[in-house]
Amino acid sequence: MKIPAIALRGLCVLPGMVVHFDVSRKKSVLALEKAMVADQKVFLVAQKSVQEEDPGMDGLYGMGTVSCIKQLIKLPGGMVRVLAEGLERARLEALDGSGGYLQAEVELCPAEPFLEADDVTREAMCRVLKDEVEQYAQANPAFSRDTAVMLMETGNLEELVDEIGVNLPLSLENRQKLIEAPSFSDRYALVERLLETETQISRIKLEFQEKVKERIDQNQKEYILREQMKLIREELGEDGPQAEAVQLEEQLKKQKARKEIKEQIQKEITRYKSMPAGSQEAYVSRNYIDSLMALPWSRMSRDNKDLAKAAAILEEDHYGLEKIKERIMEFLAVRSLTGKGESPILCLVGPPGTGKTSIAKSIARALNKKYVRICLGGVRDEAEIRGHRRTYVGAMPGRIAAALKQAGTANPLMLLDEVDKLGNDYKGDPSSALLEILDSAQNENFRDHYIELPIDLSNVLFIATANTTQTIPRPLLDRMEIIEVESYTENEKYHIGEKYLVAKQRKKNGLTEAQFTVTEKALRRIIHNYTREAGVRELERKIGELCRKAAKEILDGKKKKVKVTDSSLEKYLGQELVRFDKANERDAVGIVRGLAWTSVGGDTLEVEVNLMPGSGKLQLTGQMGDVMKESAETALSYVRSVSPEFQVDSEIYEKNDIHVHIPEGAVPKDGPSAGITMATAIMSAVTNKKVKADLAMTGEVTLRGRVLPIGGLKEKLLAAKMADIHTVLVPGTNKPNVQELSEEIVEGINIKYVGTMDEVLKEALI
């Protein structure tokens, strides 16, 4: 069938579809005239590219629609407006443009009826499409309600599919797919899929529109409220930041600060005045001004200068700790004489539970200073100390500036807790940031990154606490005055418990002195047999446990008052928890008692040595660290070097293995102070001479037999005392350390000073 053809740009006509389109190309106008002269039928086919002016066979889609021209209207400029109705699908077989217009040879492809399904299936398919149409109409408010009603009332399945394709606002590509669908089943599936896709697109679009509308409404509401607020302020004579700036200037006049500091704050207030109300910049500036105004630039508290009163407060709060109390009294005396005096930077170093943090509180109370605590454990970010730059979102002052703000005075006592547990990573090294703060020659002009103005920290009394100096960086350690807080003796623990802890726990658990008491013998037994620590933290927990059990008994009506005695202690606390290794009952070969320092106080360390047939190997067991292993090897080398003096055959080392063991193998042990102990044990084993049972020793040994000094002497002597050991060998160079110890510790112990292994062996071997 030959028929005039018109190439349409961006338009695809479906059967049953009535469309308007304008024609301006000469070929298309001539084709319309030829069609009107004949039977008014024309072949409408879409061209693939809208830019192509004279498309050929390759530039057109292969399927189009034979349509009937209903109306022609000639417009100015040679343009013709056409009203056409699509009739039947047709395939384009050939195209001829030689006559001045496009003439197409087409093959009609009539819509075949859907005959494969029964009436029930067809009805089901209709309902599926109608449900989809209804959902689409709900999701797309722009879709004509009349069109939706018309589609819902269509009963014929084929007609419904065609009507949906005609009325749905589909793209050119999707309409072309509908024309080219080979069968009705394909066309039905395509219409259903397109309808579902368009519904989802409409829903998403609707959600976006609602969100945009909501945001616009909120912004509009805020704008109106802001304008109303502005008008109200103008009527009242207030003008946003200007009015606030006046208040800030009044506060600045009352602020105690150096002239240059006040000038800088005034500049910031002046800047704030010119900022628009409600702007983000004004909000940041106001926060910065508030931070500056909150700092106590030159606001000082009056220190207590009464030495007797300060000493009484320190004695009232803490038992012992004589070095610390003496140092604080010295500071007070200097301050009284000079009027100011340089604030010391003290570092209290000692085991957990020895009262380092609580003594800082007592010092603050004794000196009448404000107390602020900064916990440095786990701090890894330098900005936590120095603050963040103001350019960052959420910037805030560092911990030092924040602590001054909290204290409200420029001369508080600032406790830097757990200074040995500072970390560092890619964000910086906080310990380096502390170098300026903890240097009395530099901290007069400390600069916080957020505050940006010099802060005078010279009046702050810094007290740091640490469990050990090993992990504190050397430059930081150099800035501080180290005061050792040593372990408590059992007698000291008793006085602390009797004077402070019992009363504290009694009050904490709601008991009175009449309701709850602990006898002296019971308290001493708790210390000796239920706790093992350098401080008194565990002792306080045990007293708290007694108070809780007593409170329960009183409330149950069993008793009106509870008195804990030595005999009733097991009833409340159960079996004894702590066991102390006593001195050996008999002298033995290859067994020597050493002394060790641990984080919870001192301990005795038994070293056992066995000789067995072998090839001269040295075997070390008992979880020894690298330093202790090296001490064992040094001890063996020393023993081998002096063997001829003790008539020991050198072949004994080649034909025997030496096994050195330290019991409690699951507990890690390290340090050089067991050197003379291992050397003595090895010598005893190879010479088969017994070692005195009632003897312990500590000291580092060298290859030539010299005895070097060690640390932790107080804790080690206490451990020897608890083990009922009466003779202790100590390096001669540690004599000054022993002389500093109280009589209570050394009483009952015969301390012998040794300088060489010859002296050790003379005292130890029988």
Q: Is 716 a catalytic residue?
A: yes
Q: How far apart are CA 710 and CA 672, in angstroms?
A: 8
Q: How far apart are CA 43 and CA 273, in angstroms?
A: 75
CB 45 within 8 A of CB 94: no
Would you state the structure tokens that stand for residue 135, as one six-digit string?
Answer: 């959902």
CB 59 within 8 A of CB 47: yes
Helix (H) or strand (E) holding 197: helix 184-236
CB 596 within 8 A of CB 674: yes
Q: How far is CA 709 from CA 356, 387, 672, 679, 737, in A?
A: 27, 44, 10, 16, 10
Residue 707, strand partner residues = 701
* Maximum pairwise Cα distance, the chain: 142
Q: How far apart are CA 642 and CA 649, in angstroms?
A: 11
Choosing from 28, 431, 673, 684, which is the catalytic residue?
A: 673
The single-letter DSSP state of residue 443 is G
Cβ-based neighbours of 630, under 8 Å, separated by 6 or more: 672
> 521: how many CB neighbours lie within 10 A of its CB?
12
Q: How far apart are CA 738 and CA 750, in angstroms?
A: 12
Q: Which of 126, 1, 121, 5 is nearest to 55 (CA)?
A: 5
Would you state the structure tokens that stand for residue 556, as one six-digit string?
Answer: 């149950």
Query: In a 10 Å sphere around its CB, with 0-12 CB exposed, 13-18 middle and 19+ buried, how is residue 648 labelled?
Result: middle
Q: How far apart are CA 73 and CA 182, in angstroms?
A: 36
The single-letter DSSP state of residue 497 is I
Instruction: Report helix, strand or coil for 598.
Output: strand
Query: In a 10 Å sphere around its CB, with 0-12 CB exposed, 13-18 middle and 19+ buried, how is residue 727 labelled?
Result: middle
Q: How far apart are CA 363 and CA 350, in angstroms?
A: 17
Q: How far apart are CA 467 and CA 220, in angstroms?
A: 60
Note the helical H segments in 154-183: 157-167, 172-180
CB 255 within 8 A of CB 453: no
Choosing from 273, 370, 542, 716, which is the catalytic residue?
A: 716
> Residue 2 — φ and ψ, nearest 5°?
-100, 140
List % helix, strand, coil for the chain (3-state, nearest 5): 45, 20, 35
CB 463 within 8 A of CB 360: yes
Q: Which of 476, 549, 557, 456 is nearest to 511 (CA)?
A: 549
CB 302 within 8 A of CB 368: yes
CB 351 within 8 A of CB 601: yes
Annotated active-site positions, please? 673, 716
